[in-house]
């Protein structure tokens, strides 16, 4: 659905990001701290693969009813880098992420970075959602001395959480039932702790970002 002008803006931005990466190498990726928001449902329907049943080829197909994600859900806000999770927050259903709320999260992130990576010059990254790019948010980022990694316009698919972290999290939760918001939060935290033990899990997620930049260039 993108116009030629939109595609050119996207490609130009990716070219600049790739050039910067080539100049600084792996260190550039290691400094990125990316964040995003996503809903986590109390119940997510199984994937087609998960719901497959072993049966004889002559057996009639079982009747299956369409199942959708539960209406009860929790908003997950997460920031992470190539080494693991930096900061997690949960919002109850009915709350929204506006500029004021997002700035509050950024302040907590700033404190966390100074405590966990005091020698690391972190580069925050987020997509171009309105709460992330409002004048109020930009002013707050400036006061925190954060220089944000530019995100290409018209490119929600180039956000590391969207292209890597959230799909893996939600795939894990398919078919699981949680009785309460607290159960959801505990399950998400447990999954993140397990992934922090996996060598290169988060590093691979950041490398996916570089591959996507290159893919945009290759496919014009």
Amino acid 191: pLDDT: 96
Residue 32 burial by Cβ neighbours in a 10 Å radius (0-12, 13-18, 19+):
middle
Dist CA 86 CA 94 (whole Å): 25
Of 45 and 163, more confident: 163
pLDDT score of 201 more than 90:
yes
Dist CA 129 CA 155 (whole Å): 11
Nearest to 105 by CA among 84, 121, 86: 86
Residues β-bridged to residue 87: 79
Of 48 and 76, more confident: 76
Q: Look at strands 32-41 and 123-125 and give their pairing.
A: parallel
Nearest to 26 by CA among 65, 82, 91: 82
128-175 residue pLDDT tens = 999 999 999 999 999 999 999 999 999 999 999 999 999 999 999 888
**Ordered domains of the chain (ranges, CATH):** 4-41+68-218 (3.30.420.10)
Contacts 24+ apart (CB under 8 A), 103-106: 103/136, 103/137, 103/140, 105/35, 105/77, 105/79, 106/137, 106/140, 106/141, 106/144, 106/146
Amino acid 31: pLDDT: 92
Q: 21-30, 80-89, 104-113 — which is least confidently predicted?
A: 21-30
Amino acid 62: pLDDT: 53
- Element (H or E) spanning 10, and its range? helix 4-24
Amino acid 59: pLDDT: 56
Of 136 and 28, more confident: 136
pLDDT score of 55 more than 60:
no
pLDDT score of 185 more than 80:
yes
Mean pLDDT, the chain, rounded, equals 87
Q: Are 162 and 36 in contact (CB under 8 A)?
A: yes
Dist CA 156 CA 26 (whole Å): 23
Of 70 and 171, more confident: 171
> Order of strands across the sheet with 32-41?
84-91, 73-81, 32-41, 123-125
pLDDT score of 54 more than 80:
no
Dist CA 118 CA 115 (whole Å): 6
154: left (phi over 0), alpha (psi -120 to 50) or beta: left
């Amino acid at each position: 659905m993108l116009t030629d002008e939109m595609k050119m803006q996207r490609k130009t931005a990716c070219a600049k990001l790739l050039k910067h990466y080539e100049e600084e190498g792996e260190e550039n990726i290691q400094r990125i701290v990316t964040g995003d928001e996503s809903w986590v449902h109390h119940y997510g329907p199984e994937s087609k693969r998960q719901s497959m049943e072993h049966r004889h080829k002559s057996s009639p197909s079982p009747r299956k009813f369409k199942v959708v994600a539960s209406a009860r859900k929790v908003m997950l806000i997460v920031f992470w880098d190539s080494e693991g999770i930096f900061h997690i927050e949960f919002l109850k259903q009915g709350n929204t992420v506006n500029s004021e709320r997002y700035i509050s999260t950024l302040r907590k992130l700033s404190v966390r970075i100074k405590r966990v990576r005091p020698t690391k010059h972190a580069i925050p990254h987020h997509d171009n959602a309105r709460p992330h790019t409002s004048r109020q948010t930009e002013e707050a980022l400036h006061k925190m001395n954060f220089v944000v990694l530019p995100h290409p316009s018209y490119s929600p698919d180039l956000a590391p959480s969207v292209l890597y972290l959230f799909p893996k999290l939600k795939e894990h939760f398919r078919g699981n039932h949680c009785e309460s918001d607290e159960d959801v939060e505990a399950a998400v935290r447990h999954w993140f702790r397990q992934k922090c033990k996996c060598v290169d899990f988060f590093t691979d997620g950041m490398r996916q970002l570089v591959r996507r930049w290159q893919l945009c260039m290759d496919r014009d």
